[in-house]
Amino acid sequence: MTETRAPAGGARAADVDVVVVGAGFAGLYLLHKLRGLGFSVRVLEAAGDVGGTWYWNRYPGARCDIPTTDYTYSFDPALEAAWTWSEKYATQPEILRYAQFVAERYDLRRDIDFNTRVEAAHWDAAASRWRIRTSTDASVSAQHYIMASGCLSVPKAPDIPGAGRFQGPVYSTGRWPHQGVDFTGQRVAVIGTGSSGVQSIPLIAEQAAQLTVFQRTPNYSIPAGNGPVAPERRAPLEADRAAYRLAAKWSRAGVPSTPTQIYGRYSTPDVHAERFESAWKSGELVPILGVFADQILFPDSNAIVAGKVREKIRAVVANPETAELLCPKDHHFGTKRPCLDTGYYQTYNRPNVRLVDLRSQPITSITETGIDAGGEAMRFDAIVYATGFDAMTGAIVAVDITGRDGVTLKAKWAAGPITYLGLMSVGFPNFFMITGPGSPSVLSNMMVSIEQHVDWVSDCLVRLRNDGLTTIEPTPQAEAGWMQHSQDCAAITLFPSADSWYMGANVPGKPRVFLPYVGGVDAYRKACDEVVARGDLGLRRSGPAGTRCNDGLVRQLQPDVGMVLDMLAAMNLPTFDSMPPAAARAFLAQLSAARPPGPAVGEVKDGTFPGAAGPLNYRLYRPATPGPHPVVLYYHGGGWVLGSHDSDDPLLRDLCVRSGCLIVSVDYRHAPEARFPAAVDDAMAALRWVSTNATSLGGAAGPVAVAGWSAGANQAAVVSQLARDQGGPAIAGQLLLTPVTDGDRNTASYRENAEGYVLTASLMQWFFDHYADEADRHDPRIAPLRAASLAGLPPACIVTGQFDPLRDEGVAYAKALAAAGNRVQHIPARGHTHTSLTMIDVVVSGEPVRAEMAAALRGFFQPATVAA
Ligand SMILES: Cc1cc2nc3c(=O)[nH]c(=O)nc-3n(C[C@H](O)[C@H](O)[C@H](O)COP(=O)(O)OP(=O)(O)OC[C@H]3O[C@@H](n4cnc5c(N)ncnc54)[C@H](O)[C@@H]3O)c2cc1C
């Protein structure tokens, strides 16, 4: 396999198996690993030595912000035993020493070309090799080309007028002089208050005669509480190092932790205070980013944490005006990476420190002697730019990477990076990225993510070699699917709301796309492992042994739906159809009690109404807005066997708030005690009673709409037909959420989704067996799809879930209603199951669908508007 030519006279091989760009932690581990697997490797590095981030960022105060117990290689237990970190958060010099120690230990430098910048890499299709050009004019070719070029390795050039005019020394935190800088007695300007600014400002302030900090956007920062590693932090690692590292690999952020289930929006101020203070005292990012399970999902929960951080800032900073300027108010907590500091806010109490707010006092120009801002000319002896990085994509597109058919990566990524798993990109065979866009990378402990990528890529190259194949490239379908999934993950969070470098917002002209994968290190690793387990899913591999491709999508469920399913699978709960109905009902009630309650509405009132065979319960939801409100009659789900006026409570609160409708959720008799057609008789009785009493219930006059979920949606569809046939009551519209519309169970969706998505094919059989005789199952009162005529029915909105056995019959009913001349809106809920849309505050990806459902309900009462 190897094409390495023996280096003549110490020269390095020009043709190798793998070229790696970068000798940071990613490049170093790649070299060690691939070399061990028998590949010839050459690493090309622009810097003068190893270390990457820690080679370049030598500014005062530079430290890691993930504790060193975790921010360290774990691939070799002997390496771990040979190195001891001195502090909770090590300084840059110590981390750089560690990188050098690793390079020496594994004799890595002999395969690294330092002071060598890669300028271009072109795919030579005829030779199936990458041809690489460097700043030293060295030309290298490789079968595989790997960018380990760093997510934060290209400092952002300051976009400030006059930059370049200043005659004194100018420093960039990301390119700090190796000999250090002495600011003693100087007037210093620091521009930028991101992580590098926050770390360096306190130390520069101690040295400088005067320090002026220019701030455009304040960041949230928490005190690092640095010092020796706390015993309670060391203990689990020392007790079982392997278990600790494994827990990190399967954690959300690459640091072992137990995520809370506590919601900020549903807990008390005491709980808020207790959880926040404990996270604050930890001085670590993972706890403060996880005070509440919902803080990155909902603004109200996030505001609790953000508000408390602001209280802390105000408590420290003596000058109230300065304190207000330092309080972030334009982004949700955690949507930009929070900083960890040592005495940052205290620094503003020093007499030699001044804060200039660039929003009210913008820089007009850098001058020869200083900075003009807001009409004030300020003189400085030195200027420090702490203006961040062109993150995640900067180093990759800085190289002219040209793939198949002469297409450049830069052109392909013009509207934002497009990758499969953040590892590869269509059109660029044998090209890999370490911690690339579309992978957890900067949202995680990078050491864990780097190791995972290096291991995955190495294993991939070994498989290719073992299979007698030479090239590998993702398929367009797989890549598009991953991008969709990655954007789905971001969309359910508050992340995209911030103008952050995660979004590319700090670089003028950079496309606004959420760059990292938000789904978590654990979910990501699972997807990568699954790609392998499913025969290199979505990867086209070819060579002398032929071409192999198992095309497909590794993730199609909405991310939160997938998480719920994983959680349920881990709980290994008994299934409803394994229990007698009474036990199943009690179990459902128990599950319902544990769910988030849903939003507050104006009024919730329970009562009874006359069912077909006696009184039945109902629950009424009244909006908080002034009435009278249009009235919706709702039938709960539960397969005619389970559920009650209480069982869909959070969904109905949500629908009431969103739609502004008064909702009356009614009970109906259940099977097997009362089999078909008892439920239908009660459903009709409810329709008559609610229609007659709409105004006395406080609702608006006029026809009511009917709605339901699952078997309840079946009831709503059936009463719509019966009311038509019986001459009333009039119905304004029917909202059918994942309805049962047929008595047969032989559709493709039944087969595809028979198991694994909560509502199983066998549970549906159990429902039907309890509810109705086989002979009745084509009766339109069970199978509305089979009605003799579907003409003249109320307008319908039908929601179907992609992973629902009932999907196809819902789709069929929507088509049949439309074909019969009815007004129909069909909402196919991509990535959803039969139950997921009802999981209020748990499945956030259901929100847009529920918003559409609410709009449909409103539209039933304004037909002219909707028709338009
Ligand atoms: C100040 C700071 C603190 C950080 N703290 C943490 C932390 O606490 N925890 C954490 O998880 N992450 C942290 N990070 C992120 C950090 O970048 C990663 O943890 C990690 O060091 C990245 O390693 P890498 O090898 O992927 O990339 P890098 O360390 O960035 O190395 C990439 C190398 O590639 C070289 N290179 C790039 N382009 C070319 C080219 N065209 N030709 C030749 N060479 C090239 C660069 O010179 C660089 O040396 C921090 C980043 C910064 C800037």
CA of 740 to the centre of ligand 1 (A): 54
Dihedral in degrees, nearest 10, Cα atoms 5, 10, 14, 19: 100
The CB density around residue 232, as the number of other CB atoms within 10 Å, is 7
Share of the chain above pLDDT 70, in %: 98
The CA distance from 436 to 148, in Å, is 9
In angstroms, what is the span from residue 56 Cα to ligand 1's centroid? 9
pLDDT of residue 616 exceeding 50, the answer is yes
Mean pLDDT (whole number) for 72-77? 98
Task: State residue 865's pLDDT score.
Answer: 40
Average pLDDT over residues 409-415: 96
How many Cα atoms sit within 13 Å of 394 on the Cβ side? 22
d(CA 614, CA 728): 22
Ligand 1 atom nearest to 174, measured from its CA: 53
CB of 154 within 8 A of CB of 389? yes
Nearest CA owner, ligand 1 atom 3? 64
- If you take atom 50 of ligand 1, which residue's CA is the nearest one? 64
Q: Which two tokens stand for residue 710?
A: 């699952």
pLDDT confidence of 504, banded at 50, 70, 90? confident
CA of 151 to the centre of ligand 1 (A): 6
Q: If you average pLDDT over residues 520-542, what whole number do you get? A: 98
Q: Confidence band (pLDDT; 50, 70, 90) for 148?
A: very high
- Candidate from 25, 30, 44, 53 with most ligand 1 atoms within 8 A of CB, to mutate: 53
What are 540-579's pLDDT values in tens digits? 999 988 999 999 999 999 999 999 999 999 999 999 999 9
For position 11, what pLDDT does the model report? Answer: 56
Q: Which residues line ligand 1 (CB under 6 A)?
A: 21-27, 44-47, 52-53, 55, 57, 62, 64-66, 71, 117-118, 148-153, 196, 395, 398-399, 434-435, 445-446, 450
pLDDT value, residue 3: 32
Least confident of 57-71, 226-240, 630-644, 776-790: 226-240
At 8 the pLDDT is: 34
Average of pLDDT values for 129-149? 95
Q: What is the pLDDT of residue 438?
A: 97
**For ligand 1, atom 30, which residue shows the shortest CA distance?**
150
Residue 398 C-alpha to ligand 1 middle, in angstroms? 15
pLDDT in tens, 152-204: 999 998 889 998 899 999 999 999 999 999 999 999 999 999 999 999 999 99
| Two structure tokens written together for 459 | 């294993």
Specify whether the CB–CB gap between 732 and 703 falls below 8 A: yes
Closest ligand 1 atom number to CA of residue 89: 8
Atom of ligand 1 nearest to the CA of 450: 26
Answer yes or no: is pLDDT of 868 > 50. Answer: no
Under a CB-based contact definition with an 8 Å cutoff, are residues 53 and 153 in contact?
A: yes
722 pLDDT above the threshold of 90: yes
